[in-house]
Amino acid sequence: MNMSRAFVLLRLVVAASCAACSSPVQIESGDGGSDDAAGGDGATDGGHDAAPTGCAATCPAGCCEGNTCVLPAGQDWSRCGPPGKTCGACNKGVICSAGSCDNAHWAPTTLLTLTVTQLYVTAATCGDTISTPDPYAQFVFDDANPPRTADTGACSSTTLCEPPSNMIQNVQASWLTDGKTTFSGWDNNTFSSNEACWTGPYSFPAPLAVMGTYQIPVNTYSNPGMEFALSAQ
Protein backbone atom coordinates (compact mmCIF):
# COMPACT_ATOMS: atom_id res chain seq x y z
CA MET A 1 0.00 0.00 0.00
CA ASN A 2 1.48 3.34 -1.01
CA MET A 3 1.48 6.36 1.32
CA SER A 4 -1.29 8.33 -0.47
CA ARG A 5 -3.72 5.40 -0.32
CA ALA A 6 -3.03 4.82 3.38
CA PHE A 7 -3.66 8.52 4.10
CA VAL A 8 -7.07 8.39 2.34
CA LEU A 9 -8.14 5.32 4.36
CA LEU A 10 -7.11 7.02 7.62
CA ARG A 11 -9.22 10.08 6.77
CA LEU A 12 -12.28 7.88 6.09
CA VAL A 13 -11.95 6.11 9.47
CA VAL A 14 -11.65 9.40 11.36
CA ALA A 15 -14.66 10.89 9.53
CA ALA A 16 -16.82 7.86 10.35
CA SER A 17 -15.81 8.01 14.00
CA CYS A 18 -16.63 11.73 14.25
CA ALA A 19 -20.04 11.21 12.62
CA ALA A 20 -20.93 8.67 15.28
CA CYS A 21 -19.79 11.02 18.06
CA SER A 22 -21.85 13.96 16.80
CA SER A 23 -25.18 12.10 17.03
CA PRO A 24 -27.00 13.12 20.27
CA VAL A 25 -27.65 10.30 22.73
CA GLN A 26 -31.37 10.02 23.58
CA ILE A 27 -32.08 9.21 27.21
CA GLU A 28 -35.76 8.81 28.13
CA SER A 29 -35.68 9.92 31.73
CA GLY A 30 -39.17 11.37 31.99
CA ASP A 31 -38.74 15.14 32.27
CA GLY A 32 -40.91 15.74 29.21
CA GLY A 33 -38.23 17.14 26.91
CA SER A 34 -37.96 16.25 23.23
CA ASP A 35 -35.71 13.36 24.19
CA ASP A 36 -38.39 11.80 26.39
CA ALA A 37 -41.17 9.40 25.51
CA ALA A 38 -43.87 11.41 27.30
CA GLY A 39 -44.79 13.55 30.32
CA GLY A 40 -42.96 16.05 32.50
CA ASP A 41 -41.96 19.68 32.16
CA GLY A 42 -42.67 20.01 28.44
CA ALA A 43 -39.28 21.62 27.66
CA THR A 44 -37.63 21.05 24.29
CA ASP A 45 -34.10 20.23 25.34
CA GLY A 46 -33.05 17.36 23.03
CA GLY A 47 -30.13 16.57 25.32
CA HIS A 48 -29.21 14.41 28.27
CA ASP A 49 -31.61 14.10 31.23
CA ALA A 50 -30.98 12.81 34.72
CA ALA A 51 -33.25 10.03 35.93
CA PRO A 52 -35.73 10.93 38.73
CA THR A 53 -34.34 10.55 42.24
CA GLY A 54 -35.61 10.64 45.81
CA CYS A 55 -39.36 10.83 46.38
CA ALA A 56 -40.17 11.44 42.70
CA ALA A 57 -38.64 8.05 41.84
CA THR A 58 -40.49 6.13 44.55
CA CYS A 59 -43.88 7.92 44.68
CA PRO A 60 -45.89 6.72 41.67
CA ALA A 61 -49.27 7.48 43.24
CA GLY A 62 -48.81 10.55 45.44
CA CYS A 63 -47.19 13.97 45.58
CA CYS A 64 -43.91 14.69 47.34
CA GLU A 65 -43.54 16.77 50.48
CA GLY A 66 -39.77 16.84 50.84
CA ASN A 67 -38.84 13.16 50.82
CA THR A 68 -42.30 12.09 52.03
CA CYS A 69 -44.77 10.54 49.60
CA VAL A 70 -48.28 11.86 50.33
CA LEU A 71 -50.84 9.43 48.89
CA PRO A 72 -54.22 10.71 47.63
CA ALA A 73 -55.99 9.53 50.80
CA GLY A 74 -53.73 11.80 52.85
CA GLN A 75 -53.94 14.86 50.61
CA ASP A 76 -56.05 17.92 51.44
CA TRP A 77 -56.08 21.65 50.64
CA SER A 78 -52.75 22.17 52.43
CA ARG A 79 -50.82 19.55 50.42
CA CYS A 80 -52.15 18.51 47.03
CA GLY A 81 -50.41 17.38 43.85
CA PRO A 82 -50.11 14.82 41.02
CA PRO A 83 -48.02 11.65 41.27
CA GLY A 84 -44.26 12.20 41.58
CA LYS A 85 -44.58 16.00 41.71
CA THR A 86 -44.12 18.41 44.61
CA CYS A 87 -47.20 18.92 46.81
CA GLY A 88 -48.66 22.43 46.82
CA ALA A 89 -51.35 24.33 48.73
CA CYS A 90 -54.86 25.03 47.42
CA ASN A 91 -57.17 27.75 48.71
CA LYS A 92 -57.82 27.09 52.40
CA GLY A 93 -60.52 24.52 53.09
CA VAL A 94 -61.33 23.49 49.51
CA ILE A 95 -61.31 20.02 47.94
CA CYS A 96 -58.15 18.28 46.69
CA SER A 97 -59.31 15.72 44.13
CA ALA A 98 -56.99 13.36 42.22
CA GLY A 99 -54.02 15.62 42.92
CA SER A 100 -55.76 18.80 41.69
CA CYS A 101 -57.24 21.74 43.60
CA ASP A 102 -60.99 22.21 43.30
CA ASN A 103 -61.12 25.81 44.49
CA ALA A 104 -64.83 26.04 43.65
CA HIS A 105 -66.02 23.68 46.42
CA TRP A 106 -65.53 23.36 50.16
CA ALA A 107 -64.24 20.01 51.43
CA PRO A 108 -67.06 18.28 53.41
CA THR A 109 -65.06 18.26 56.68
CA THR A 110 -63.93 21.90 56.51
CA LEU A 111 -64.94 23.99 59.52
CA LEU A 112 -66.46 27.28 58.45
CA THR A 113 -67.48 30.56 60.03
CA LEU A 114 -71.05 31.45 59.05
CA THR A 115 -71.71 35.22 59.08
CA VAL A 116 -75.33 36.39 58.79
CA THR A 117 -75.30 39.52 56.61
CA GLN A 118 -79.08 40.03 56.21
CA LEU A 119 -82.09 38.76 58.12
CA TYR A 120 -85.61 39.48 56.83
CA VAL A 121 -88.90 38.94 58.65
CA THR A 122 -92.36 40.52 58.56
CA ALA A 123 -94.67 41.42 61.40
CA ALA A 124 -97.26 39.10 59.89
CA THR A 125 -94.94 36.07 59.78
CA CYS A 126 -93.80 36.78 63.34
CA GLY A 127 -97.38 37.05 64.57
CA ASP A 128 -96.53 40.40 66.16
CA THR A 129 -99.49 42.77 65.90
CA ILE A 130 -98.41 45.12 68.70
CA SER A 131 -94.87 46.22 67.80
CA THR A 132 -92.21 45.90 65.15
CA PRO A 133 -90.28 42.60 65.48
CA ASP A 134 -86.84 42.32 67.10
CA PRO A 135 -85.48 39.55 64.85
CA TYR A 136 -82.55 37.19 65.31
CA ALA A 137 -81.34 34.16 63.37
CA GLN A 138 -81.19 30.65 64.79
CA PHE A 139 -79.48 27.50 63.49
CA VAL A 140 -80.03 23.92 64.67
CA PHE A 141 -77.26 21.57 63.51
CA ASP A 142 -78.62 18.04 63.98
CA ASP A 143 -75.46 16.46 62.54
CA ALA A 144 -73.23 18.00 65.22
CA ASN A 145 -72.18 15.67 68.02
CA PRO A 146 -74.08 16.42 70.18
CA PRO A 147 -76.73 18.34 68.16
CA ARG A 148 -76.20 22.05 68.54
CA THR A 149 -78.29 25.24 68.50
CA ALA A 150 -76.68 28.63 67.76
CA ASP A 151 -78.28 32.10 67.75
CA THR A 152 -77.17 35.52 66.56
CA GLY A 153 -77.93 38.63 68.55
CA ALA A 154 -81.30 40.35 68.06
CA CYS A 155 -81.94 43.49 66.04
CA SER A 156 -84.22 46.16 67.48
CA SER A 157 -87.61 47.11 66.00
CA THR A 158 -86.99 46.28 62.36
CA THR A 159 -87.83 43.70 59.71
CA LEU A 160 -84.56 43.79 57.72
CA CYS A 161 -81.15 43.97 59.41
CA GLU A 162 -77.66 42.61 59.85
CA PRO A 163 -77.87 41.08 63.31
CA PRO A 164 -75.32 41.88 66.02
CA SER A 165 -73.06 39.01 67.13
CA ASN A 166 -73.72 37.55 63.70
CA MET A 167 -70.83 35.06 63.40
CA ILE A 168 -71.47 31.35 64.03
CA GLN A 169 -68.22 29.36 64.43
CA ASN A 170 -67.34 25.70 63.76
CA VAL A 171 -69.95 24.95 61.10
CA GLN A 172 -68.91 21.85 59.16
CA ALA A 173 -69.47 22.20 55.41
CA SER A 174 -71.31 18.87 55.13
CA TRP A 175 -73.95 20.07 57.63
CA LEU A 176 -75.20 22.53 55.01
CA THR A 177 -75.69 19.89 52.31
CA ASP A 178 -77.40 17.00 54.14
CA GLY A 179 -80.82 18.57 54.81
CA LYS A 180 -80.44 18.20 58.59
CA THR A 181 -79.77 21.86 59.46
CA THR A 182 -82.73 24.05 60.42
CA PHE A 183 -82.55 27.76 59.59
CA SER A 184 -84.94 30.10 61.41
CA GLY A 185 -85.83 33.73 61.93
CA TRP A 186 -87.16 34.53 65.41
CA ASP A 187 -88.75 37.53 67.14
CA ASN A 188 -87.17 38.38 70.50
CA ASN A 189 -89.97 39.33 72.89
CA THR A 190 -89.30 41.01 76.22
CA PHE A 191 -92.57 40.22 78.02
CA SER A 192 -93.59 36.97 76.35
CA SER A 193 -92.07 33.89 74.75
CA ASN A 194 -90.00 34.37 71.62
CA GLU A 195 -91.84 33.57 68.39
CA ALA A 196 -90.62 31.79 65.27
CA CYS A 197 -91.19 34.04 62.24
CA TRP A 198 -90.14 31.39 59.72
CA THR A 199 -88.33 28.10 60.09
CA GLY A 200 -87.44 24.94 58.21
CA PRO A 201 -84.64 22.63 57.10
CA TYR A 202 -82.76 23.70 54.02
CA SER A 203 -80.00 22.02 52.02
CA PHE A 204 -77.49 23.24 49.45
CA PRO A 205 -76.14 20.90 46.71
CA ALA A 206 -73.10 18.81 47.63
CA PRO A 207 -70.23 19.45 47.48
CA LEU A 208 -70.90 22.91 48.92
CA ALA A 209 -69.95 25.59 46.41
CA VAL A 210 -67.62 28.43 47.37
CA MET A 211 -69.72 31.58 46.85
CA GLY A 212 -69.72 35.19 48.01
CA THR A 213 -73.13 34.92 49.69
CA TYR A 214 -75.77 32.24 50.26
CA GLN A 215 -79.50 32.90 50.51
CA ILE A 216 -82.40 31.07 52.16
CA PRO A 217 -84.76 31.05 50.36
CA VAL A 218 -83.31 32.01 46.99
CA ASN A 219 -84.90 35.46 46.93
CA THR A 220 -84.35 36.77 50.46
CA TYR A 221 -85.46 40.30 49.67
CA SER A 222 -88.92 39.22 48.47
CA ASN A 223 -89.54 36.50 51.06
CA PRO A 224 -88.72 36.17 54.75
CA GLY A 225 -85.30 34.56 55.02
CA MET A 226 -81.61 35.29 55.44
CA GLU A 227 -78.37 35.90 53.60
CA PHE A 228 -75.03 34.72 54.93
CA ALA A 229 -71.36 34.33 54.01
CA LEU A 230 -68.95 31.46 54.71
CA SER A 231 -65.22 31.50 55.33
CA ALA A 232 -62.73 28.77 56.27
CA GLN A 233 -61.46 28.93 59.84
Q: Which of 20-24, 136-140, 205-209, 210-214 has the lowest mean pLDDT?
A: 20-24
For residue 146, say if its preceding peptide bond is cis, omega within 30 degrees of 0. yes
Residue 223's pLDDT band (cuts 50, 70, 90): confident
pTM over 0.85: no
In terms of Cα–Cα distance, which of 139, 130, 129 is closest to 185? 139
In terms of Cα–Cα distance, which of 177, 179, 184, 172 is closest to 144? 172
Q: What are the backbone dihedrals phi and psi of residue 53, each rounded to the nearest 5 degrees, phi first?
A: -130, 170
Domains, in order of start, for the chain: 55-106 (no CATH), 111-232 (2.60.40.150)
Q: Specify the pLDDT at position 122.
A: 86
CA distance 197 to 183: 11
- Asked if residue 29 has pLDDT above 50, the reply is no
- pLDDT, greater one: 40 or 202: 202
Contact status, residue 132 vs residue 121, Cβ threshold 8 Å: no
Q: Listing from the earlier edge strand, what are the strands of the sheet with 195-201? A: 148-151, 135-141, 181-187, 195-201
- Asked if residue 46 has pLDDT above 70, the reply is no
Range with top average pLDDT, 28-32, 127-131, 195-199: 195-199
Q: pLDDT, tens digit, for every residue of 73-116? A: 999 999 999 999 999 999 999 999 999 999 999 999 999 999 99
Contact status, residue 162 vs residue 226, Cβ threshold 8 Å: no
Q: Taking residues 129-137, report their average pLDDT.
A: 86
The tally of CA atoms less than 13 A away on the side-chain side of residue 160 is 6
